Chains A and B, each alone.
Chain A
Amino acid sequence: MFSGNRNALRNSAAWRIAAWPAVAFAVGVALALATMYLFIARDIRARSDAWLSGEAGTLADVSAKTPRDSLYGRLVEEVAELATHEVSDASLSGQQQNSVFFLQMQPNEEPIWVGPDPKQRFIQAIQLAQLAPGIPGDVHVDGWKLPFRVVYHAHDTAAGIYLGFADLSGAKMLDRLTERCLLVWGITVALGFLITWLAAYRTLSRVERISDTVSRIDSDDLSRRLPEGRYPDEISRLSNTFNKMLDRIQSSVHQLRVLTDSVAHDLKSPVTSIRGTLEVALAEADRAQLQEQVAKAIEGLDRLSEMLNTTLDLAEADAGALPLQKEPIELAGLIQPLVDLYQPAMDEQGLRVTTQLQPIVVDADRSLLNRMVANLLDNEVAHLPPGCEVNIVIQTRGQEASIIVTDNGPGFPPDLLDRAFERFVKGEHSTGHGLGLAFVQAVVTAHGGNVALSNQAGGGAVISLSMPTVLVPVEKSREGPQKPAISLH
């Protein structure tokens, strides 16, 4: 896991993902440790201040009660010395004397001094510090790293008592504390960063695997799939999404190949027949015969170009690029003229057509809807034997408008039922190009609807389409802009 060169590490998002939590972690831990440090330092100072005040009080008492004779100085010195020994610590005994001083100012006499030399420096520093009586304060003395805590007692006007204490053991303790805090901080931050980085690295290595696998997928081998992890987490979902996308791509590519093959096949036959027809025409001496041949060729070309247009429409629909010029359309008003147009042709074939139409408004592309209904009717005309009946019903089901076309013919061949919407799929005896129902489905889908095929129990086919209705009153839609629809041809 840690192999991989430096460049790979630098290009890994795991570093960046781990860096921010690590910074936040470092700041948080530092704050916590600093707070702890401050509390401890304050406690230590409070302790030394308490000792200082108590001791200074005692010394003040002693000094007050002791008569001021020639022994006074010696006595106070002794007591002060004793007091300074109270704070002595085995490990510090050497310097301890140096860390405590006692000073009593005496009017007209030398001050009594117990403490490190030179006392002049201390006396100067104390005088500069201007301490308030009874409240310990910091006094910085030249040559001493630590400030002295000094308390000042004045029980009579001339003789002030100063007791000073540099808490070397406390300072030492705090130093050790600082060291340990830094160590703990360093270890925690490093560990935190490492754990975050590891977690990110592990997670991202799954992403890396996905990108690896995907990069190895090419158009020749689309069957490769990504492993989907044990837990349904985000990355598993990513794999899942990729797999679904690959499924779709694979099926599109497959469809495209089938389509190309079919187009090639379906183009070759008519092109061959047109070419043949024209070749025959070329050799034709009789003018009427020649015209007949040429006309046949033109009809063949017309069929070919219609197929080409529908194929292009279907390709556009598949790409989601079927241009829709939507407007509110009253379905009955759209279907009835088409039924009227087809009626004579159906009549000639011995077919009857009935309609049950009611005013329903859909938001749709008029031109596409016209062609879609024409395709449905073409389908009926082309496949029904004489004597059959076609029934067209439009109705609303909730928010959906349905167009249901039923007939009492032979129905769809069972093997076609599932595939009837695929392009170039057509019945055995069909003379069409097999694009009609594929086009119907493409139009309905582009309008956000559904289409389904079935055979009735008693025989006959049912094609049922649904698309969302528009909640526009019918009257209003009729007043709407009556722009002429724009043709695609």
Chain B
Amino acid sequence: MRLLVVEDDLAIRDFLKRGLTESGYQVDTAPDGKSALSLAADAAYDGFIIDLGLPDMDGLDLIARCRAQGHTAPVLILSARRTVDERVRGLEQGGDDYLTKPFALAEVVARLRNLLRRGTAPQQEAVRLHVADLELDLVRREARRGGQLLQLTAQEFSLLEYLIRNEGRVVTRTMILDQVWHMHIDPATNVVEVQIYRLRKKVDEDGKHPLIHTIRGVGYVLRES
């Protein structure tokens, strides 16, 4: 998968390139709209990450011109402007998703993956999810570890389902609140941590091989090792 990152801030451009390369993408970067357009003219990209505040043109114009060049790949907009208005405008004018600064790299990766998946055929909707000896029955909404039924609350089940669906990938606190609770809040207290802590107590009971891991400073990941 080949991506074009258009961002004028050198530090952000660099860390996006590194982070996305590590996640397995092939990344080209451009510091302004003009060089982005010339890159886009010569290559086919699977996705764009475009900052709205470019030195030579408005990010929204750049998106429009890329679209005019025939690019249909999804666009993730980055912006320091955080008003709802900006966001709506960005999404209306050719952007596919919108992320405000400051953001976590994990979130960029997660959103990008979502966007890139959108183009492909819809997956067969699974009724069961597995990771190691953890098994989720999405129809009965039951979770078993090593064949033993776990006593989970509805919230805990949703949280576990989200973690399993993102197996091996780090999810941030914001992503959890967004995707599991459908809330765009930023709690000043450790509500998410406690939710994870409680879930972990039930899933990774004493003596069992731990599946839910904390990545300090970033978020959580569910994986076998």
Contact = CB atoms under 8 A, between A and B. Distances in A.
Contacts of A340: 155
A309 B186 contact: yes
Interface string B163-190: 0000000000010011001111111111
Interface stretch (A87-95, A190-198, A229-237, A292-300): A292-300
B216 interface: yes
Contacts of A382: 188-189
Given A292-B216, A323-B84, A487 B189 contact: no
Contacts, number: 98
The size class of the interface chain A forms with chain B is 35 or more
Given A378-B187, A488-B100, A295 B216 contact: yes
Residue picked from B82, B100, B182, B218, most chain A C-beta under 10 Å: B82
A294 B155 contact: no
A297 B217 contact: yes
B155 A488 contact: no
A344 B191 contact: yes
A378 B85 contact: no
Nearest to B216: A295
A343 to B, nearest CB: 9
A378 B182 contact: no
B126 interface: no
A488 B191 contact: no
Contact of A341 (B87, B102, B174, B195): B195
A337 B197 CA distance: 19
B198 A337 contact: no
B218 A298 contact: yes
Contact of A348 (B82, B177, B181, B194): B194
B217 A489 contact: no
Residue picked from B85, B88, B185, B194, most chain A C-beta under 10 Å: B185
Contact of B188 (A294, A370, A375, A489): A375
A306 interface: yes
Contact of A345 (B177, B194, B217): B194
Contact of B184 (A297, A378, A436, A489): A489
Contacts of A283: none
Contacts of A299: 216-217
A299 B216 CA distance: 8
Contacts of B181: 337, 341
A381 B192 CA distance: 13
Contact of A486 (B84, B186, B195, B217): B84
Contact of A485 (B174, B184, B187): B184
Contacts of A292: 216
A426 to B, nearest CB: 11
Given A325-B84, A367-B184, 19 more contacts: A292-B216, A295-B218, A296-B216, A296-B217, A298-B216, A323-B85, A338-B185, A344-B194, A345-B191, A345-B194, A370-B185, A374-B185, A381-B191, A382-B189, A433-B188, A486-B88, A488-B82, A489-B82, A489-B100
11 contacts: A295-B217, A337-B183, A342-B191, A344-B198, A345-B190, A367-B184, A371-B185, A374-B186, A433-B188, A485-B182, A487-B184
Interface of B: 82-85, 87-88, 100, 102, 155, 174, 177-178, 181-191, 193-195, 197-198, 215-218
